[in-house]
Structure 1
């Protein structure tokens, strides 16, 4: 059971120390909006560096997302099916490619950012915060219910301090998302990328 504590104590808590904070329209609404906005701002993919994250999906399969914006490359691997993106450094192009590759599998940071931003202005939404450590990464978690102004009314999402999604459960008009981080590391594997580039079955 999550414990309710006074909204002011949650407001004084620093990011990543939000366990047990519960806000609604009649309790700490302005504080919850500030915290939601701060967490949403982490999800701007233009600010995220290179990393490799592996998720376990609802059907038990694994998904690996590896991005290296500075070098203009990224890879998405689901089980043994790989797709590779390599081109000039272009954040918008990378964002669009990820949106297509992860469609109905994992929401992009920009998509979740949009859900959170909609919830910040929705007085009917109930917002609960806590934190969790997944694959060694400490994350802030947001649980939203009744966000009628958002395309996603009910969802749970956990985000690290640098904007990596570590857990998500959401039903959207596009489909159901359910993924949990099981492995993470900064940077990308050079040898792993070379193998993908040399593999004729890798989609480009």
Structure 2
């Protein structure tokens, strides 16, 4: 409801992509492909800068995404848990219990397994750039998908939005996503993997607090990474 209340008065002129557009050899409208490709590139650019973003989620809950560049690492905090990602692996923590319980796993290989940790975050109502990127790339490959673009302002940030519909054999049949000029995810609305995601940016800064990258105090940690053989 928060997102709809903010977006309604701010929606600009819609760029509606219709069947009147020229079609490439693979049946994809070039304007639609460009919009999807540009937003994907925007999200990827954000991976090169530090930031801390706070979100209002469905049912009034809160979430956060924090990213640091040196060393490269990111934290996704959602109600009852968090996922920490760095070059050493994925650390998922359940913070709804005391003490918190954390498990460290090696970085997944390429392919569908690479999104496993991020998909778990989505199941708790917080969507991440890797999942959004996957949905945008799926839309690029489906010529029947429809895309409309508009601009909004959220948390004082100008953002470009895409309304995507008509997807088949995908985790979401349709969704609306907004991304700031800096590449930070500004909002997302849609049903992804059966989860109703309604996420809107409330605050963003370029300086993530150092404390967010630490394990919860007193956490019980199980490390599932392969042990390095002794020399």
TM-score, with length taken from structure 1: 0.73
CA–CA distance in structure 2, aligned partners of residues 116 and 73 of structure 1: 23
Q: Find the partner of 1:184 among 185, 201, 204.
A: 204
Unaligned runs of 5+ in 2: 1-11, 23-28, 91-105, 109-113, 223-231
CA–CA distance in structure 2, aligned partners of residues 102 and 45 of structure 1: 22
Q: How many residues align?
A: 184
CA–CA distance in structure 2, aligned partners of residues 38 and 86 of structure 1: 25
- Structure-2 residue corresponding to 1:59: 59
**Structure 1's 101 and 48: CA in aligned 2 closer, same or farther, altered over 3 A?**
farther
Q: CA deviation at 1:178?
A: 1.1
CA shift digits 1:45-65 (9 cap, x unpaired)? 783421111110111011112
Secondary structure in 1 matching 2:33: helix
Unaligned runs of 5+ in 1: 1-17
Whether 2:131 is the aligned partner of 1:111: answer: yes
Q: Find the partner of 2:217 among 182, 192, 199.
A: 199
C-alpha RMSD of the superposition: 3.3
Answer yes or no: is the 8 Å Cα contact 2:118–2:130 preserved in 1. no
Whether 2:110 is the aligned partner of 1:102: answer: no
CA–CA distance in structure 1, aligned partners of residues 85 and 220 of structure 2: 12
TM-score, with length taken from structure 2: 0.65
Q: CA deviation at 1:142?
A: 0.2
Q: Find the partner of 1:22 among 16, 21, 32.
A: 16
Answer yes or no: is the 8 Å Cα contact 1:24–1:124 preserved in 2. no
CA–CA distance in structure 2, aligned partners of residues 156 and 54 of structure 1: 19
